[in-house]
A and B are shown apart, each in its own frame.
Chain A
Amino acid sequence: MTRRNFASRAAGPLLLGVPTLFLLALFVVPLASMVVLSFWRTENYHIVQDWNLGNYITLATGGPYVTFLIRSLVMATVVSVISIVIAWPVSYAIILYGGRYRLLFTLAFAVPFLTGEVLRVIALQGLLGPLGLINGVLMALGAAPLRFIMYTNIASAIGLVYLYLPIVVTVIYLSLLNFDARLIDAAKIFGASPLRAFFEVTWPLNLFGTLIGFALCFIPCLSATLAPRFLGGPNGTLYGMAMAQQFGESGTWALGAAMGVVLFLTSILAVLAIGMRVNLRRTGFTGFGRG
């Protein structure tokens, strides 16, 4: 009897403790060490443990870094908004007309998401590049190739929408799946037009899912490294790409760590700014588990 009591009492701490320790050791501590490094400096590829704010001063006053950050913020916002505008009708259509094949329609969106960023960037170059499908078709028809999709910020934006649309669709789909559609019927019975029912019932009650989708698109876009490198042109450098270069070619780890901290804080601030605007109870969020 005592053994059984012990087993059931040990289960909780064990089940929750091991994952917690895992995340603390391999997620929280590394992030903290990045913060520490950002206050040191790099000299000739060596780290000097000398506490200073030099990296942040460089980032705040060095012209290109501010430009990169602003460009990344604009890019991430535009891409996230476009993705949500596309993802809403898509997930709504899957819910309405998917029938018993809903799961298949949703999984079909996950296939491109799971094939990895490098391979999808390769596929995108096959679509947008100078020798790609679009320009190939245009040239076969005797038209001039489209310049604005070759190594430009527009190409980067198309690429990022391509990369992160699937996750936004999945999140909004899940939100709609758990939404009780009888509420729409109720609104209509009481005389609301379909448009009004949508904007006063469906949209606000799925706002939480939409905002999660926004965050899960915005954050990786903000730190995108691959898409701007291979799709964006000479004026397409984004913050994440510049950060990755600090750890590669230029070897200035401390500056890179400071850029990492800036990206991390910007993402957190963006999520908080979105989160503050949402009244969770109004959005129908029922907490974790027994919904």
Chain B
Amino acid sequence: MRGRLAKAATRYALLATLALSYLFLYLPILHIGLAAFAKNANFPYPPRWTLDTFGRLFGNSLYQGAFLNSLMLGIGAGALSTLLAAAATLGLIRHAGRRTGLLLTLFVAPLFVAEVLVGIASLIFNGLFLELQGNLVSAILANAVHCFSYALLIMATQLYRYDWRLDDAAMVFGASPLRTFFEVTLPLIWPGLLGAFIVTFIMAFNNLEISFYLLGATPTLPSVAWGALRYGVKPELYALATAVNLVVVLGLGIMFVLMFTGKATFGHRPERERAV
């Protein structure tokens, strides 16, 4: 009897913590989301609906240019880091041998160096030793360093259960390594690649701490928002944050639906035992 009571208490305590954490994370997001659509932006309870804030945001040419730059930064850094991380993951699992530990340490090292240090170090290297002005390309490269480790982790969690006997089978039947990759490996691992690209794209798109030091005079959405934030929070910033939040939710939603409906699973994945 006491055991059952304790069990129920544990259950409710755990679920309550979970619910409170979601509340903590989403309350500010919902609040500014509401504020972005309300005339009384400071305290929108009850809200008087309006779309003016979004109109001003989308009509502002500064934000339009910044959006395009952010988009290029996200696509560039996302694609570069995903490709490199895919190569690194395949190499680590298949070809690294005794050097696995050393290489893995190098590959995940950017996770353990703060973003702002990556930004500052790249600024010093580019500005002082290469005498390059900051621009979009240098920002893409520096962001790709940080994104690379995240892409590697995402792909590693997806790939380490991949059944390499499939590749061996293809090769035994005479397929070249390249053909094996494009006809066997790639069709089975693309969800991992897509997931890594979506996550790294979003990270680079929204990054400030690295990009800030490398962009030179190129505005991106986070840098413009940072500039505006110094003069206090305005409803336009709420609208901007809300728009980005909606896009992120959409991106992760697509990923989730693909995984959940089984459109994106991995071939010959052994059923794992129940975890807890």
Contact = CB atoms under 8 A, between A and B. Distances in A.
Given A29-B125, A116-B222, A7 B176 contact: yes
A115 B252 contact: no
Contacts of A86: 17, 21
A220 interface: yes
Nearest to A127: B28
B31 interface: yes
A291 to B, nearest CB: 7
Interface in A172-226: 174, 176-182, 184, 194, 215-216, 219-220, 222-223, 225-226
B56 interface: no
A68 to B, nearest CB: 14
A95 B249 contact: no
- The size bracket of the interface on A is 35 or more
A256 B116 CA distance: 12
A12 B114 CA distance: 30
B144 A26 contact: yes
A154 to B, nearest CB: 15
B31 to A, nearest CB: 5
B145 A23 contact: yes
A225 B113 CA distance: 14
B225 A243 contact: no
A263 B115 CA distance: 12
Contacts of A19: 84-85, 87-88, 91, 107, 148
Given A15-B87, A119-B222, A184-B276, A27 B109 contact: yes
B233 A119 contact: no
B29 A112 contact: yes
Contact of B104 (A14, A110, A257, A288): A288
Contact of A16 (B7, B10, B103, B259): B103
B241 interface: yes
Nearest to A13: B95
A266 to B, nearest CB: 10
B21 A165 contact: yes
A180 B274 CA distance: 8
B10, B90, B124, B176: which has the most chain A beta carbons within 10 Å?
A: B124
B182 interface: no
A124 interface: yes
B8 interface: no
Contacts of B148: 19, 22-23
Nearest to B206: A116
Interface in B93-127: 93-96, 99-101, 103-104, 106-107, 109-118, 120-126
Given A15-B87, A30-B124, A123 B32 contact: yes
Given A33-B121, A90-B21, A12 B95 contact: yes
A16 B91 contact: yes
Interface stretch (A50-58, A129-137, A145-153): A129-137
B124 A97 contact: no
B145 A181 contact: no
A243 B276 contact: no
A290 interface: yes
A23 B109 CA distance: 9
Contacts of B7: 194
B177 interface: yes
Interface in B192-235: 199, 202-203, 205-209, 213, 222, 225-226, 229, 233
Given A119-B240, A162-B25, A220 B115 contact: yes
B256 interface: yes
Contacts of B172: none
Given A18-B84, A165-B25, A223 B42 contact: no
A131 B222 contact: no
Nearest to A4: B176
17 contacts: A4-B176, A11-B91, A19-B88, A26-B142, A33-B128, A86-B17, A97-B14, A114-B203, A117-B222, A127-B28, A127-B31, A133-B43, A181-B276, A263-B117, A264-B117, A289-B100, A289-B160
What are the 4 tightest A-B residue pairs by CB atom distance, in nearest-first order? A116-B206, A12-B95, A15-B91, A223-B114
Given A23-B148, A289-B160, 20 more contacts: A8-B177, A15-B88, A19-B91, A19-B107, A27-B110, A34-B120, A103-B259, A114-B252, A119-B225, A119-B244, A122-B241, A123-B28, A181-B274, A219-B114, A240-B116, A244-B116, A264-B117, A288-B104, A288-B160, A289-B92
Interface of B: 6-7, 10-11, 13-15, 17-18, 21-22, 24-29, 31-32, 35, 42-43, 45, 84-85, 87-88, 90-96, 99-101, 103-104, 106-107, 109-118, 120-126, 128-129, 141-142, 144-145, 148, 156-157, 160, 176-178, 199, 202-203, 205-209, 213, 222, 225-226, 229, 233, 237-238, 240-241, 244-245, 248-249, 252, 255-256, 259-260, 273-276
